[in-house]
Amino acid sequence: MTLLIRWIALPMLLALVAAAPAREPSPAAEPVSPGPTAQAPADPLLGFADGLVAAYRYDKNLPGLTLAVTAPDAVRVLRGYGYADAESGAPVDPQTTLFRIGSISKTFIWTAAMMQVEAGRLDLDADVNDYLDAFEIEAAFDAPVTMRHLMTHTAGFEDSIKVFTFADDDPRSLARALAETRPARVHPPGARTSYSNWGSALAAHIVEQVAGKAFADLLAEDLLAPLGMANTTIVAPARLEAPLAEQMATGHEYSDGRHLAGEPMQIGPFAPAGAIASTAADMARWMRFHLNRGELEGVRLLSPETHAVLWQRAFDGPEAASGVSHGFQSRTLRGIRVVGHGGSTGMFNSNMMLAPDLGIGVFVSQNSGQGGYAAVGAITDRLIERAAELAGVAPVSGALRPAEGLSDYAGAYINNRRSFTTMMRAFAMSVSMSVEATDDGELLVHDGETAYRYAPVEGAPDLFENARGARIRFVRDADGAVVALQDHSGVHSHERVAGVESPATVGVIAGAAILLTLTTLLGFWRRFRQVPERSAAGRRAALAAFVAACMVLLYIAFGIVALIALSSLDAADFTTYPPGSVQAFAFAGYGLAAAAALALFGLWPAWRGSNWGVFRRLHYSAFALALAAMAWILWRWNFYGAPYI
């Protein structure tokens, strides 16, 4: 089960992470493309950036990477490293090489939305249904969804991979695609932060509705052209025309000891949520526009007052904690306020972070699936920290201190960015974070395979920070009980779980049922060879147990086949999801339920007329009840009986 979760959870977050490859020769001898001659060659960040990127490229075995570091008035560092295409050896040019920026695309949606607010066409606190013609958001929780909820990822939608099942040549409009993929509302608006591609695409559709033009046209005419971003496009790689087609970097996968071109992720009409490709030079202009609060080189698209809303928090806690402003991830890095966004499209991983008070923005993107987001996230943070050091800004620890009484926070937490009503719920049931209180007054937080110690931040209830400067915040309900955790990314909350809502309970019940299945089969085999059943009732009960146990093994076999198929999926394969093996596994769940019913049916003859001993009857009863419990809890977790996606 754990392996199944490992293989499925990351595609839900946009990409599957490849296994760590063997080391290649040092990238020091590979091409490094400088930025424009206007870039100051003596900038003290330049040498630091070169060394930092070289280290991460070697460690993560990255074929190519593009980087921009900018101040409000000028670019400080603009570099291309390695290969835009490893097979041809084409180098990365930060001026012209296009990298897919993934969900950083959403910052264009939010900026366009604030332009409509400033024009008086859009109210952030109005019911979004006021702006929709082709469909509407279903009523729930006695509260409407607003644009402010969409911008802060607090609308309360469940997550879904449906947005990744559309091919880039799909003729359906964004409105129709949204109408056909509406997710369930699972949290009251404003109650939980849960990242939503569907909600972001809905916001893009609302923008095009109030603006009276398709989002792609609005992007090109109202944002890219005025800001001089000629090398930025929302067109899918396979549909690009010259000259941008020749400028598009290749997304790589690592196979047989080399980087090979992979199939790009497709999202069709949901393109506004993550399909933009750009260059480091153009992204430097985008960052300068925001560092200047809505203006670039004399072109103002937003007033400073309207732009300020983009970086204001609305629902998810104090500024000192990680959260989401109006579309931008918002957090504190060593005492420095940082806003921005990350993005991934399978074989491209990107990050854009700005420190407004420091007057610096960093954009980095790399063109391979391996290494995931780790390298680009670390590079942006280290460059911002180094810029702070050069500016004489001392890091702030948050006055960390040990504390007593931290057991309230201990427990298992599951990411709220998951499905609640489809089979995908089963594939996202792993504990995303587990928390335990230490004897020395800190929290030990396990995040996947890593663990960090967090200490309380002085004067900030429920806020903790680790040695790397990452902060987490715990959420309490009206009664004061800890019910959720907001992680360092700011865009994810994790619900505290126990009982039947805990994956551990599923594991215990399923493990017990499987163990009793095996002992039932062993007992049947032994008695079949040595001690024939002496009564008709005993034969009926034994046959029911044998058939039920065989059906359990068959169900496990279907699960293994589905697991093998899922392990080979990557982000480009979701246009054909689900594979037949997953459908067969879901259907086999009904066989598991039938097996449980058969085992329960055999309880009567087992206890009435079988002439069995007490231990055998008790074992059979435990088997039947455990099997029934397994069938019930797997149904509850949507292993079967729910839509595939």
Q: What is the pLDDT of residues 605-636, one digit of tens each?
A: 999 988 899 999 999 999 999 999 999 999 99
Q: Which of 140, 128, 137, 134 is nearest to 182 (CA)?
A: 137
Residue 1: what pLDDT?
A: 35
Q: Cβ distance 455 to 442 under 8 Å? A: yes
As a whole number of angstroms, the distance between CA 400 and CA 471 comes to 11
Q: What is the pLDDT of residues 222-263, one digit of tens each?
A: 999 999 999 999 999 999 999 999 999 999 998 888 999 998
Give percent of the chain with pLDDT exceeding 70.
Answer: 93
Indicate the SS3 state at residue 630: helix
Regarding predicted confidence, which is higher, 527 or 299? Answer: 299
β-bridge partners, 333: 336
**Mean pLDDT, residues 557-570:** 88
When mean pLDDT is compared across 25-29, 163-167, 537-541, the lowest value belongs to 25-29
**Mean pLDDT, residues 211-227:** 97
Q: Cβ distance 97 to 80 under 8 Å? A: yes
Give percent of the chain with pLDDT exceeding 90.
Answer: 76
Residue 460 has pLDDT above 60, yes or no: yes
Residue 280: what pLDDT?
A: 98
Instruction: Name, in order, each residue with C-beta under 8 angstroms of 596's C-beta and a sequence gap of 6 or more.
Output: 548, 624, 627, 628, 630, 631, 632
**Mean pLDDT, residues 9-15:** 34
**Mean pLDDT, residues 577-595:** 94
Residue 300 has pLDDT above 60, yes or no: yes
**Mean pLDDT, residues 518-546:** 86
Q: Which of 436, 440, 474 is nearest to 452 (CA)?
A: 436
Q: Cβ distance 32 to 93 under 8 Å? A: no
Residue 403: what pLDDT?
A: 79
Regarding predicted confidence, which is higher, 400 or 335? Answer: 335
Residue 84 has pLDDT above 70, yes or no: yes
**Mean pLDDT, residues 291-302:** 98
Confidence of residue 529 (pLDDT cuts 50, 70, 90): low
Rg, C-alpha atoms of the chain: 27
Indicate the SS3 state at residue 190: coil
Residue 27: what pLDDT?
A: 39
β-bridge partners, 296: 299
As a whole number of angstroms, the distance between CA 178 and CA 201 comes to 8
As a whole number of angstroms, the distance between CA 497 and CA 509 comes to 16
Residue 15: what pLDDT?
A: 34
Q: Which of 266, 122, 139 is nearest to 203 (CA)?
A: 122
Residue 399: what pLDDT?
A: 65
**Mean pLDDT, residues 262-273:** 93
Residue 2: what pLDDT?
A: 34
Residue 637 has pLDDT above 50, yes or no: yes
Instruction: Give the other-Cβ count within 10 Å of 371's Cβ.
Output: 22
DSSP, res 327: S
Residue 581: what pLDDT?
A: 92
Which whole-number Å values give the CA distances from 100 to 205, 281, 283, 424, 578, in the listed order? 21, 14, 11, 27, 26
As a whole number of angstroms, the distance between CA 261 and CA 62 comes to 13
Place of tokens 């215990």: 508
When mean pLDDT is compared across 101-105, 363-367, 565-569, the lowest value belongs to 565-569
Residue 316: what pLDDT?
A: 66
Place of tokens 């309880």: 603
Residue 281: what pLDDT?
A: 98
Confidence of residue 37 (pLDDT cuts 50, 70, 90): very low
569-573-576-577 Cα dihedral, nearest 10 degrees:
40
- Tell how far CA 164 is from the center of its chain: 13
Return the domain boundaries, the chain.
407-497, 501-636
The three-state DSSP-derived secondary structure of 454-515 is EEEECCCCCEEEECCCCEEEEEECCCCCEEEEECCCCCEEEEEECHHHCHHHHHHHHHHHHH
Backbone φ/ψ region at 388: left (φ over 0), alpha (ψ -120 to 50), beta: alpha
- Assign a CATH topology to domain 407-497: Lipocalin (2.40.128)
Mean pLDDT across the chain, nearest whole number? 90
Q: From start to end of 302-398, where are the E strands?
A: 323-324, 329-333, 336-344, 349-355, 360-366
Q: What is the model's pTM?
A: 0.90
**Mean pLDDT, residues 309-317:** 87
As a whole number of angstroms, the distance between CA 6 and CA 11 comes to 10
As a whole number of angstroms, the distance between CA 386 and CA 80 comes to 20
**171 prior amide bond cis, ω within 30:** no
User: Would you call 241 exposed, middle or buried from its count of C-beta atoms within 10 A (0-12, 13-18, 19+)?
Assistant: exposed
Regarding predicted confidence, which is higher, 22 or 190? Answer: 190
As a whole number of angstroms, the distance between CA 409 and CA 482 comes to 6
Instruction: Name, in order, each residue with C-beta under 8 angstroms of 305's C-beta and a sequence gap of 6 or more.
Output: none
Residue 4: what pLDDT?
A: 35
Residue 12: what pLDDT?
A: 35
Bridging pattern class, strands 336-344 and 64-70: unpaired
Confidence of residue 9 (pLDDT cuts 50, 70, 90): very low
Regarding predicted confidence, which is higher, 389 or 398? Answer: 389
Q: What is the pLDDT of residues 139-180, one digit of tens each?
A: 999 999 999 999 999 999 999 888 989 999 999 999 999 999
501-636: what CATH class?
Answer: mainly alpha
**Mean pLDDT, residues 451-466:** 91
**Mean pLDDT, residues 283-302:** 98
The three-state DSSP-derived secondary structure of 65-129 is EEEEEECCCCEEEEEEEEEEECCCCEECCCCCCEEECHHHHHHHHHHHHHHHHHCCCCCCCCEHH
SS3 content of the chain, % helix, strand, coil (to 5): 40, 20, 40
**Mean pLDDT, residues 393-416:** 85
Residue 5: what pLDDT?
A: 35
**Mean pLDDT, residues 346-367:** 96
As a whole number of angstroms, the distance between CA 140 and CA 244 comes to 45
Backbone angles phi, psi at 107, to 5 degrees: -65, -25
Confidence of residue 39 (pLDDT cuts 50, 70, 90): very low
Regarding predicted confidence, which is higher, 14 or 325? Answer: 325
Q: What is the pLDDT of residues 118-127, one digit of tens each?
A: 999 999 999 9
